[in-house]
Amino acid sequence: MASLGLNRYGKARVRVMKVVRYDDFHEMKEWSVKVLLQGNFETCFTQGENHNILPTDTIKNTVYSLARDSTSSTLEDFATELVAYLLANNPQVSQAAVEIEEKNWRQLLIDGEPHATTYAIAGPEVKTTEVLGERGSALKISSGIDGLVILKTTKSAFTGYIKDKFTTLPESTDRIFATRATITWEYDTLPSDYERARASAIESLLKTFAEHDSLSVQHTLYDMGVALLAAVPEAQRVKLTMPNLHCLPVDLSRFGQNNPNQIFVPTDEPHGYIEAVIER
């Protein structure tokens, strides 16, 4: 006999742009919000009975309304506020999870100074957070960054690996290392300033990536995770996903030319895929 297992529902890709208009400058954030609720919803699935269901359209409107009155300046704080509201006002909900992505808008520099009301996208990466609230338990909060595209032209090698009848990859002691990284760190204790913690995390990741004498993507990934935990003492663990976006040397010998590690074909399909969790 079939029975209902773990289930939840909610609203995804609720896009919110908020502009706070101060006298001398405007502050702007663009978020994409996902809300997922878990609770006493079994009869909705098994009998089509909706008396415990908060419509997903109502969830969307809740996001907009709370954003209007919220004083939160970080996506972590707003996600926390939204989780608290949903649990306080919906006794049928046992767990509320909120995920937010924030686009990387930065004030445009004009003559070296930030323009008060004009923004530009600083990079393809987005800031991320997930806040999970469950009745009777402490909040679980993580921060992260998704789509961090970074590349270095040297200090990367890959040698000594298994070679079998299908191996065509030549060893390299000096190759290009490119990735589109996704990094998420979970807090054991909550930082007093999420933005400062995020800035410290990203600075540690970039510094380690740039300076590391890499013997593999795995080698650099691990040291990046170690560096982040050292830079953010409130973080308990960090998950790093780092696809290896290959830059393949072009064989120019048929044109009577050599290729002293200068001409490459960038390709991201197929790509190596490496991920790991580093924890205290």
Active-site positions read 11, 56, 246
What residue spans of the chain are helical by DSSP H? Answer: 42-47, 56-69, 75-89, 194-211, 217-231
Residue 77 burial (C-beta neighbours within 10 Å; 0-12, 13-18, 19+): middle
User: Regarding beta strands 235-249 and 177-187, do their DSSP bridges make them parallel or antiparallel, or are they unpaired?
Assistant: antiparallel
Residue 147 burial (C-beta neighbours within 10 Å; 0-12, 13-18, 19+): middle
Query: What DSSP character marks residue 53?
Result: P
Coil, strand or helix at 216: coil
User: How far apart (Å, rounded) are the C-alpha atoms in residues 72 and 52?
Assistant: 30
User: How far apart (Å, rounded) are the C-alpha atoms in residues 163 and 28?
Assistant: 53
